[in-house]
Amino acid sequence: MENIEVIPTSESSTTRVGSGIDYELFLDCVHCGLCTASCPTYAELGNENDSPRGRIYLMRGVRDGRVDLTKEVRRHLELCLDCRACETACPSGVQYGRLIEPFRIEMEQTGDGTEKTNDWFHRWILFGMFPYPDRLRRWLKPARWGQKLRLDRLLTRTGLWKLLPPRLGRLVAMLPELQRPPAKLPPILPAKGTPRARVALFTGCVADVMFRETNWATARVLQQNGCEVVIPQKQVCCGAIHLHAGSSEPAQEFADTNLSEFNVDDVDAVIINVAGCASMLKDYGHHWQDSKQSERQRFADKVKDVSEFLDELGLVPPEGELPLKVTYHDACHLAHAQQVREQPRNLLKQIPGLELVELPESELCCGAAGTYNLTEPEMAERLSRRKMKNILSTGARVVVTANTGCLMQIACESRMNQHALKIVHPMDLLDLSYRGEPLIF
Protein backbone atom coordinates (compact mmCIF):
# COMPACT_ATOMS: atom_id res chain seq x y z
CA MET A 1 0.00 0.00 0.00
CA GLU A 2 1.31 3.47 -0.84
CA ASN A 3 2.15 5.50 2.22
CA ILE A 4 -0.50 7.89 3.46
CA GLU A 5 0.66 10.59 5.86
CA VAL A 6 -0.43 9.41 9.31
CA ILE A 7 -1.12 12.33 11.62
CA PRO A 8 -2.34 11.64 15.15
CA THR A 9 -5.45 13.68 15.82
CA SER A 10 -6.62 15.19 19.06
CA GLU A 11 -10.29 14.71 18.20
CA SER A 12 -12.47 12.85 20.65
CA SER A 13 -13.43 9.39 19.36
CA THR A 14 -17.08 10.40 19.59
CA THR A 15 -16.59 13.21 17.08
CA ARG A 16 -14.28 11.53 14.60
CA VAL A 17 -15.64 10.85 11.14
CA GLY A 18 -16.77 7.22 11.06
CA SER A 19 -17.69 7.07 14.73
CA GLY A 20 -21.32 6.39 13.82
CA ILE A 21 -20.44 3.16 11.99
CA ASP A 22 -20.55 -0.24 13.70
CA TYR A 23 -16.85 -0.99 14.25
CA GLU A 24 -17.36 -4.70 13.60
CA LEU A 25 -18.01 -3.85 9.94
CA PHE A 26 -14.42 -2.62 9.64
CA LEU A 27 -13.09 -5.76 11.30
CA ASP A 28 -14.80 -8.02 8.75
CA CYS A 29 -12.09 -7.04 6.24
CA VAL A 30 -9.01 -9.28 6.57
CA HIS A 31 -7.13 -7.32 3.84
CA CYS A 32 -6.68 -10.41 1.63
CA GLY A 33 -6.82 -8.30 -1.53
CA LEU A 34 -9.21 -10.50 -3.51
CA CYS A 35 -11.41 -7.44 -4.00
CA THR A 36 -8.79 -5.45 -5.89
CA ALA A 37 -9.26 -7.18 -9.25
CA SER A 38 -12.96 -6.36 -9.21
CA CYS A 39 -12.54 -2.66 -8.34
CA PRO A 40 -12.87 -0.32 -11.35
CA THR A 41 -10.73 2.49 -9.92
CA TYR A 42 -7.97 0.10 -8.88
CA ALA A 43 -8.13 -1.57 -12.32
CA GLU A 44 -7.57 1.82 -13.94
CA LEU A 45 -5.13 3.44 -11.50
CA GLY A 46 -3.35 0.56 -9.78
CA ASN A 47 -3.20 2.59 -6.55
CA GLU A 48 -3.82 0.55 -3.39
CA ASN A 49 -5.52 3.53 -1.77
CA ASP A 50 -8.08 3.42 -4.59
CA SER A 51 -8.94 -0.21 -3.87
CA PRO A 52 -11.65 -1.41 -1.46
CA ARG A 53 -9.24 -2.73 1.17
CA GLY A 54 -7.17 0.45 0.88
CA ARG A 55 -10.23 2.61 1.43
CA ILE A 56 -11.32 0.48 4.38
CA TYR A 57 -7.82 0.93 5.83
CA LEU A 58 -8.13 4.69 5.42
CA MET A 59 -11.64 4.88 6.90
CA ARG A 60 -10.66 2.75 9.87
CA GLY A 61 -7.52 4.84 10.34
CA VAL A 62 -9.56 8.04 10.44
CA ARG A 63 -12.02 6.44 12.85
CA ASP A 64 -9.16 5.29 15.11
CA GLY A 65 -7.39 8.63 14.99
CA ARG A 66 -4.33 7.18 13.25
CA VAL A 67 -5.00 8.94 9.93
CA ASP A 68 -5.98 12.56 9.54
CA LEU A 69 -8.84 13.30 7.12
CA THR A 70 -6.66 15.23 4.70
CA LYS A 71 -7.61 16.40 1.24
CA GLU A 72 -5.66 13.43 -0.17
CA VAL A 73 -7.54 10.92 1.98
CA ARG A 74 -10.86 12.53 1.06
CA ARG A 75 -9.96 12.25 -2.60
CA HIS A 76 -9.36 8.49 -2.42
CA LEU A 77 -12.74 8.01 -0.75
CA GLU A 78 -14.61 10.36 -3.08
CA LEU A 79 -13.24 8.53 -6.14
CA CYS A 80 -15.02 5.32 -5.13
CA LEU A 81 -17.95 4.56 -7.45
CA ASP A 82 -19.83 2.69 -4.71
CA CYS A 83 -20.42 -0.02 -7.34
CA ARG A 84 -20.00 -2.69 -4.63
CA ALA A 85 -18.27 -5.15 -6.97
CA CYS A 86 -15.94 -5.78 -4.05
CA GLU A 87 -18.84 -7.25 -2.07
CA THR A 88 -19.32 -9.88 -4.76
CA ALA A 89 -15.61 -10.73 -4.75
CA CYS A 90 -15.13 -10.73 -0.97
CA PRO A 91 -14.91 -14.20 0.67
CA SER A 92 -15.36 -12.64 4.14
CA GLY A 93 -18.70 -11.01 3.45
CA VAL A 94 -17.52 -7.44 3.97
CA GLN A 95 -20.49 -5.07 3.65
CA TYR A 96 -18.53 -2.33 1.91
CA GLY A 97 -21.60 -0.26 1.03
CA ARG A 98 -22.44 -0.02 4.72
CA LEU A 99 -19.00 1.46 5.32
CA ILE A 100 -18.44 3.88 2.45
CA GLU A 101 -21.96 5.35 2.32
CA PRO A 102 -22.30 6.40 5.99
CA PHE A 103 -18.63 7.40 6.13
CA ARG A 104 -19.08 9.81 3.23
CA ILE A 105 -22.22 11.20 4.87
CA GLU A 106 -20.24 11.92 8.04
CA MET A 107 -17.41 13.31 5.91
CA GLU A 108 -19.84 15.79 4.34
CA GLN A 109 -21.08 16.85 7.78
CA THR A 110 -17.69 17.96 9.13
CA GLY A 111 -18.53 21.60 8.39
CA ASP A 112 -14.91 22.47 7.65
CA GLY A 113 -15.64 23.93 4.22
CA THR A 114 -14.22 20.98 2.26
CA GLU A 115 -17.57 19.31 1.60
CA LYS A 116 -17.79 17.95 -1.92
CA THR A 117 -21.46 18.98 -2.19
CA ASN A 118 -20.79 22.60 -1.25
CA ASP A 119 -20.88 23.94 -4.83
CA TRP A 120 -23.32 25.27 -7.42
CA PHE A 121 -23.53 22.00 -9.37
CA HIS A 122 -24.80 20.00 -6.42
CA ARG A 123 -27.09 22.74 -5.11
CA TRP A 124 -28.77 23.71 -8.38
CA ILE A 125 -28.41 20.66 -10.65
CA LEU A 126 -28.03 17.40 -8.70
CA PHE A 127 -30.08 18.39 -5.65
CA GLY A 128 -32.20 21.19 -7.04
CA MET A 129 -33.33 19.71 -10.34
CA PHE A 130 -32.73 15.97 -10.80
CA PRO A 131 -34.95 14.63 -7.98
CA TYR A 132 -37.95 16.71 -9.09
CA PRO A 133 -39.51 15.40 -12.34
CA ASP A 134 -41.71 18.42 -13.09
CA ARG A 135 -38.81 20.82 -12.51
CA LEU A 136 -36.49 18.68 -14.65
CA ARG A 137 -38.99 18.56 -17.51
CA ARG A 138 -39.21 22.37 -17.59
CA TRP A 139 -35.42 22.71 -17.65
CA LEU A 140 -35.14 20.18 -20.49
CA LYS A 141 -37.50 22.01 -22.86
CA PRO A 142 -34.67 24.14 -24.35
CA ALA A 143 -32.57 20.98 -24.72
CA ARG A 144 -35.39 19.30 -26.63
CA TRP A 145 -35.55 22.24 -29.04
CA GLY A 146 -31.78 22.18 -29.36
CA GLN A 147 -31.97 18.54 -30.39
CA LYS A 148 -34.66 19.29 -32.95
CA LEU A 149 -32.30 21.87 -34.46
CA ARG A 150 -29.48 19.29 -34.23
CA LEU A 151 -27.39 21.60 -32.09
CA ASP A 152 -26.55 18.62 -29.88
CA ARG A 153 -24.86 16.87 -32.82
CA LEU A 154 -22.89 20.02 -33.56
CA LEU A 155 -21.68 20.19 -29.96
CA THR A 156 -20.67 16.52 -29.72
CA ARG A 157 -19.12 16.07 -33.15
CA THR A 158 -17.08 19.26 -33.00
CA GLY A 159 -16.12 18.88 -29.36
CA LEU A 160 -17.60 22.28 -28.50
CA TRP A 161 -19.24 20.75 -25.42
CA LYS A 162 -15.77 20.62 -23.89
CA LEU A 163 -15.71 24.43 -23.77
CA LEU A 164 -18.47 24.37 -21.15
CA PRO A 165 -17.64 23.88 -17.45
CA PRO A 166 -16.61 20.18 -17.23
CA ARG A 167 -19.62 18.85 -15.33
CA LEU A 168 -22.11 20.94 -17.30
CA GLY A 169 -20.50 19.91 -20.58
CA ARG A 170 -20.70 16.28 -19.57
CA LEU A 171 -24.37 16.72 -18.68
CA VAL A 172 -25.11 18.19 -22.12
CA ALA A 173 -23.25 15.33 -23.83
CA MET A 174 -25.04 12.72 -21.71
CA LEU A 175 -28.59 13.73 -22.62
CA PRO A 176 -30.46 11.01 -24.56
CA GLU A 177 -32.78 11.85 -27.42
CA LEU A 178 -35.61 13.78 -25.79
CA GLN A 179 -38.80 12.75 -27.52
CA ARG A 180 -42.16 14.13 -26.45
CA PRO A 181 -42.94 11.85 -23.51
CA PRO A 182 -45.98 9.57 -23.52
CA ALA A 183 -48.85 10.28 -21.15
CA LYS A 184 -48.34 9.83 -17.43
CA LEU A 185 -49.07 6.34 -16.19
CA PRO A 186 -52.58 6.15 -14.67
CA PRO A 187 -53.24 5.17 -11.04
CA ILE A 188 -54.03 1.57 -11.98
CA LEU A 189 -53.66 -0.78 -14.94
CA PRO A 190 -55.59 -4.07 -15.03
CA ALA A 191 -54.03 -7.50 -15.39
CA LYS A 192 -54.39 -9.33 -18.70
CA GLY A 193 -55.29 -12.98 -18.76
CA THR A 194 -55.37 -14.93 -15.52
CA PRO A 195 -54.69 -12.59 -12.56
CA ARG A 196 -51.47 -13.66 -10.80
CA ALA A 197 -50.33 -10.70 -8.70
CA ARG A 198 -51.00 -7.12 -7.65
CA VAL A 199 -47.93 -4.89 -7.73
CA ALA A 200 -47.02 -1.24 -7.22
CA LEU A 201 -44.70 0.38 -9.78
CA PHE A 202 -42.00 2.81 -8.67
CA THR A 203 -41.47 5.22 -11.59
CA GLY A 204 -38.53 7.26 -10.28
CA CYS A 205 -37.52 10.85 -11.00
CA VAL A 206 -34.90 11.04 -13.77
CA ALA A 207 -36.18 7.70 -15.09
CA ASP A 208 -39.71 9.03 -15.49
CA VAL A 209 -38.48 12.13 -17.32
CA MET A 210 -35.85 10.54 -19.58
CA PHE A 211 -37.29 7.03 -20.00
CA ARG A 212 -41.02 7.17 -19.39
CA GLU A 213 -41.56 4.93 -22.42
CA THR A 214 -39.59 2.24 -20.54
CA ASN A 215 -41.88 2.67 -17.53
CA TRP A 216 -44.84 2.12 -19.87
CA ALA A 217 -43.10 -0.92 -21.37
CA THR A 218 -42.52 -2.29 -17.87
CA ALA A 219 -46.17 -1.80 -16.94
CA ARG A 220 -47.37 -3.51 -20.14
CA VAL A 221 -45.02 -6.48 -19.59
CA LEU A 222 -46.35 -6.84 -16.04
CA GLN A 223 -49.92 -6.72 -17.37
CA GLN A 224 -49.12 -9.43 -19.91
CA ASN A 225 -47.93 -11.56 -17.02
CA GLY A 226 -51.21 -11.31 -15.14
CA CYS A 227 -50.25 -8.43 -12.86
CA GLU A 228 -52.54 -5.63 -11.81
CA VAL A 229 -50.27 -2.59 -11.70
CA VAL A 230 -50.81 0.22 -9.18
CA ILE A 231 -48.93 3.48 -9.76
CA PRO A 232 -48.92 5.80 -6.71
CA GLN A 233 -49.30 9.27 -8.19
CA LYS A 234 -47.51 11.24 -5.46
CA GLN A 235 -44.41 9.07 -5.14
CA VAL A 236 -41.08 10.91 -5.15
CA CYS A 237 -37.36 10.35 -5.77
CA CYS A 238 -35.91 7.33 -3.96
CA GLY A 239 -33.30 9.57 -2.29
CA ALA A 240 -30.20 7.95 -3.80
CA ILE A 241 -28.99 11.14 -5.49
CA HIS A 242 -28.68 12.87 -2.13
CA LEU A 243 -27.53 9.91 -0.04
CA HIS A 244 -24.72 8.85 -2.36
CA ALA A 245 -23.46 12.43 -2.36
CA GLY A 246 -23.38 12.40 1.44
CA SER A 247 -26.58 14.35 2.12
CA SER A 248 -28.69 12.16 4.39
CA GLU A 249 -31.52 14.38 5.64
CA PRO A 250 -33.17 15.16 2.26
CA ALA A 251 -32.83 11.47 1.32
CA GLN A 252 -34.69 10.52 4.49
CA GLU A 253 -37.46 13.00 3.68
CA PHE A 254 -37.92 11.40 0.25
CA ALA A 255 -37.94 7.94 1.81
CA ASP A 256 -40.59 8.86 4.36
CA THR A 257 -42.79 10.42 1.67
CA ASN A 258 -42.63 7.18 -0.28
CA LEU A 259 -43.58 5.23 2.84
CA SER A 260 -46.78 7.25 3.06
CA GLU A 261 -47.61 6.89 -0.65
CA PHE A 262 -47.09 3.12 -1.07
CA ASN A 263 -49.50 0.80 0.70
CA VAL A 264 -47.18 -2.19 0.83
CA ASP A 265 -49.73 -4.31 2.68
CA ASP A 266 -52.02 -4.08 -0.35
CA VAL A 267 -49.53 -5.38 -2.95
CA ASP A 268 -47.40 -8.46 -3.50
CA ALA A 269 -44.36 -6.41 -4.48
CA VAL A 270 -43.06 -2.92 -5.17
CA ILE A 271 -41.57 -3.15 -8.66
CA ILE A 272 -38.71 -1.01 -9.95
CA ASN A 273 -36.85 -1.15 -13.27
CA VAL A 274 -33.86 1.03 -12.28
CA ALA A 275 -31.03 -0.82 -10.55
CA GLY A 276 -29.74 2.16 -8.59
CA CYS A 277 -33.17 3.08 -7.28
CA ALA A 278 -34.02 -0.51 -6.35
CA SER A 279 -30.80 -0.84 -4.39
CA MET A 280 -31.66 2.33 -2.49
CA LEU A 281 -35.24 1.22 -1.82
CA LYS A 282 -34.06 -2.18 -0.56
CA ASP A 283 -31.79 -0.38 1.93
CA TYR A 284 -34.47 1.89 3.40
CA GLY A 285 -34.48 -0.20 6.57
CA HIS A 286 -30.73 0.22 7.04
CA HIS A 287 -29.95 3.89 6.44
CA TRP A 288 -31.87 5.54 9.29
CA GLN A 289 -32.29 4.04 12.73
CA ASP A 290 -35.28 5.81 14.30
CA SER A 291 -38.94 5.19 15.14
CA LYS A 292 -39.80 4.54 11.49
CA GLN A 293 -37.05 1.96 10.92
CA SER A 294 -39.38 -1.05 11.10
CA GLU A 295 -41.84 0.61 8.70
CA ARG A 296 -39.05 1.33 6.25
CA GLN A 297 -37.85 -2.27 6.52
CA ARG A 298 -41.35 -3.57 5.78
CA PHE A 299 -41.35 -1.41 2.66
CA ALA A 300 -37.85 -2.57 1.68
CA ASP A 301 -38.84 -6.22 2.03
CA LYS A 302 -41.46 -5.77 -0.69
CA VAL A 303 -39.10 -4.21 -3.25
CA LYS A 304 -38.20 -6.31 -6.30
CA ASP A 305 -36.35 -5.51 -9.50
CA VAL A 306 -38.75 -6.22 -12.34
CA SER A 307 -36.52 -8.97 -13.81
CA GLU A 308 -36.14 -10.57 -10.39
CA PHE A 309 -39.92 -10.54 -9.88
CA LEU A 310 -40.86 -11.87 -13.32
CA ASP A 311 -38.28 -14.65 -13.15
CA GLU A 312 -39.71 -15.77 -9.78
CA LEU A 313 -43.29 -15.43 -11.01
CA GLY A 314 -42.57 -17.38 -14.19
CA LEU A 315 -42.56 -15.40 -17.42
CA VAL A 316 -45.43 -15.83 -19.84
CA PRO A 317 -43.40 -16.58 -23.00
CA PRO A 318 -43.56 -13.77 -25.58
CA GLU A 319 -44.23 -14.81 -29.16
CA GLY A 320 -42.96 -11.94 -31.31
CA GLU A 321 -39.66 -12.67 -33.02
CA LEU A 322 -36.77 -10.23 -32.59
CA PRO A 323 -33.88 -11.40 -34.79
CA LEU A 324 -31.20 -9.45 -32.93
CA LYS A 325 -27.68 -10.09 -31.69
CA VAL A 326 -27.53 -8.49 -28.24
CA THR A 327 -25.13 -8.29 -25.33
CA TYR A 328 -26.07 -7.64 -21.71
CA HIS A 329 -24.22 -5.27 -19.37
CA ASP A 330 -24.65 -5.97 -15.65
CA ALA A 331 -25.60 -2.76 -13.87
CA CYS A 332 -23.50 -2.63 -10.69
CA HIS A 333 -26.40 -2.02 -8.32
CA LEU A 334 -28.29 -4.93 -9.83
CA ALA A 335 -25.49 -7.50 -9.97
CA HIS A 336 -23.53 -6.54 -6.86
CA ALA A 337 -25.86 -4.68 -4.53
CA GLN A 338 -28.90 -6.91 -5.25
CA GLN A 339 -27.22 -10.09 -6.51
CA VAL A 340 -29.54 -10.14 -9.54
CA ARG A 341 -27.57 -11.54 -12.48
CA GLU A 342 -29.16 -14.50 -14.20
CA GLN A 343 -32.77 -13.29 -14.00
CA PRO A 344 -32.51 -10.66 -16.80
CA ARG A 345 -30.64 -13.13 -18.97
CA ASN A 346 -33.29 -15.79 -18.32
CA LEU A 347 -35.99 -13.41 -19.55
CA LEU A 348 -34.07 -12.27 -22.63
CA LYS A 349 -33.40 -15.87 -23.69
CA GLN A 350 -37.15 -16.44 -23.96
CA ILE A 351 -37.54 -13.88 -26.76
CA PRO A 352 -37.84 -15.75 -30.08
CA GLY A 353 -34.99 -15.05 -32.51
CA LEU A 354 -32.83 -13.15 -30.02
CA GLU A 355 -29.15 -14.17 -29.75
CA LEU A 356 -27.53 -13.24 -26.42
CA VAL A 357 -23.74 -12.87 -26.48
CA GLU A 358 -21.87 -12.58 -23.19
CA LEU A 359 -20.00 -9.32 -22.61
CA PRO A 360 -16.37 -9.43 -21.39
CA GLU A 361 -16.01 -7.70 -18.02
CA SER A 362 -19.77 -7.40 -17.89
CA GLU A 363 -19.78 -6.75 -14.14
CA LEU A 364 -17.15 -3.98 -14.29
CA CYS A 365 -18.74 -0.53 -13.90
CA CYS A 366 -19.36 1.49 -17.06
CA GLY A 367 -18.60 4.71 -15.19
CA ALA A 368 -22.17 5.93 -14.70
CA ALA A 369 -22.57 5.06 -10.99
CA GLY A 370 -25.57 7.29 -10.38
CA THR A 371 -24.27 10.85 -10.80
CA TYR A 372 -20.59 9.85 -10.67
CA ASN A 373 -20.21 10.44 -14.42
CA LEU A 374 -21.09 14.10 -13.79
CA THR A 375 -19.05 14.66 -10.63
CA GLU A 376 -16.01 12.57 -11.65
CA PRO A 377 -15.98 12.88 -15.47
CA GLU A 378 -12.33 11.87 -15.99
CA MET A 379 -12.58 8.46 -14.32
CA ALA A 380 -16.08 7.95 -15.75
CA GLU A 381 -14.77 8.47 -19.28
CA ARG A 382 -11.92 6.02 -18.74
CA LEU A 383 -14.36 3.34 -17.63
CA SER A 384 -16.78 4.20 -20.42
CA ARG A 385 -14.10 3.72 -23.07
CA ARG A 386 -13.12 0.41 -21.50
CA LYS A 387 -16.76 -0.73 -21.53
CA MET A 388 -17.25 0.26 -25.18
CA LYS A 389 -14.15 -1.65 -26.26
CA ASN A 390 -15.62 -4.79 -24.69
CA ILE A 391 -19.04 -4.16 -26.25
CA LEU A 392 -17.58 -3.81 -29.73
CA SER A 393 -15.68 -7.07 -29.29
CA THR A 394 -18.99 -8.97 -29.09
CA GLY A 395 -20.21 -7.92 -32.54
CA ALA A 396 -23.64 -7.16 -31.06
CA ARG A 397 -25.69 -4.26 -32.42
CA VAL A 398 -27.87 -4.00 -29.32
CA VAL A 399 -26.71 -3.42 -25.74
CA VAL A 400 -29.16 -4.29 -22.97
CA THR A 401 -28.87 -2.97 -19.43
CA ALA A 402 -31.26 -2.42 -16.54
CA ASN A 403 -30.30 1.01 -15.20
CA THR A 404 -30.97 4.51 -16.50
CA GLY A 405 -27.47 5.73 -15.68
CA CYS A 406 -25.88 2.87 -17.61
CA LEU A 407 -28.25 3.44 -20.52
CA MET A 408 -27.22 7.09 -20.79
CA GLN A 409 -23.51 6.45 -20.18
CA ILE A 410 -23.14 3.73 -22.81
CA ALA A 411 -25.35 5.60 -25.30
CA CYS A 412 -23.23 8.72 -24.83
CA GLU A 413 -20.01 6.82 -25.50
CA SER A 414 -21.64 5.27 -28.58
CA ARG A 415 -22.74 8.66 -29.95
CA MET A 416 -19.38 10.30 -29.27
CA ASN A 417 -17.65 7.66 -31.35
CA GLN A 418 -20.45 7.30 -33.92
CA HIS A 419 -21.03 3.59 -33.30
CA ALA A 420 -24.22 2.16 -34.77
CA LEU A 421 -25.52 0.69 -31.53
CA LYS A 422 -28.92 0.61 -29.88
CA ILE A 423 -28.96 0.70 -26.06
CA VAL A 424 -32.18 -0.53 -24.43
CA HIS A 425 -33.70 -1.86 -21.22
CA PRO A 426 -34.69 -5.57 -21.02
CA MET A 427 -38.34 -4.53 -20.60
CA ASP A 428 -38.18 -2.59 -23.89
CA LEU A 429 -37.33 -5.79 -25.78
CA LEU A 430 -39.88 -7.92 -23.93
CA ASP A 431 -42.57 -5.34 -24.61
CA LEU A 432 -41.76 -5.31 -28.33
CA SER A 433 -41.91 -9.10 -28.45
CA TYR A 434 -45.30 -9.20 -26.72
CA ARG A 435 -46.62 -6.57 -29.10
CA GLY A 436 -45.08 -8.17 -32.19
CA GLU A 437 -43.17 -5.02 -33.16
CA PRO A 438 -39.55 -4.69 -34.39
CA LEU A 439 -36.79 -2.70 -32.71
CA ILE A 440 -36.26 0.54 -34.62
CA PHE A 441 -32.62 1.61 -34.99
**pLDDT values of the chain reduced to their tens digit, one per residue, 441 residues:** 444 444 444 444 446 899 989 999 999 999 999 999 999 999 999 999 999 999 999 999 999 999 999 999 999 999 999 999 999 999 999 999 999 998 998 888 876 666 677 778 888 888 999 999 999 998 888 888 888 787 777 777 777 777 777 777 788 888 888 878 889 999 999 999 999 999 999 999 999 999 999 999 999 999 999 999 999 999 999 999 998 888 889 999 999 999 999 999 999 999 999 999 999 999 999 888 898 999 999 999 999 999 999 999 999 999 999 999 999 999 999 999 999 999 999 999 999 999 999 999 999 999 998 888 888 888 999 999 999 999 999 999 999 999 999 999 999 999 888 899 999 999 999 999 999 999 998
Q: What is the Cα gyration radius of the chain?
A: 22
Give the pLDDT confidence score for residue 10 in this predicted structure.
41
pLDDT for the residue numbered 298: 96
The strand order across the sheet containing 355-357 reads 355-357, 325-328, 398-400, 422-424
Measured in whole angstroms, how far is the alpha carbon of residue 402 from the centre of its chain? 9
pLDDT (0 to 100) of residue 113:
62
Looking at residue 115, its pLDDT comes to 66
Q: How far apart are CA 224 and CA 217, in angstroms?
A: 11
To the question of pTM greater than 0.85 for the whole model, the response is yes
| Cα atoms in the Cβ-side hemisphere of radius 13 Å centred on 280 | 26
**Confidence (pLDDT) at 413:** 92
Q: What share of the chain is helix, strand, coil (3-state, %, to 5)?
A: 50, 5, 40
Are 291 and 332 contacting, i.e. CB atoms less than 8 angstroms apart? no
Residues 6+ apart with CB under 8 A from 417: 388
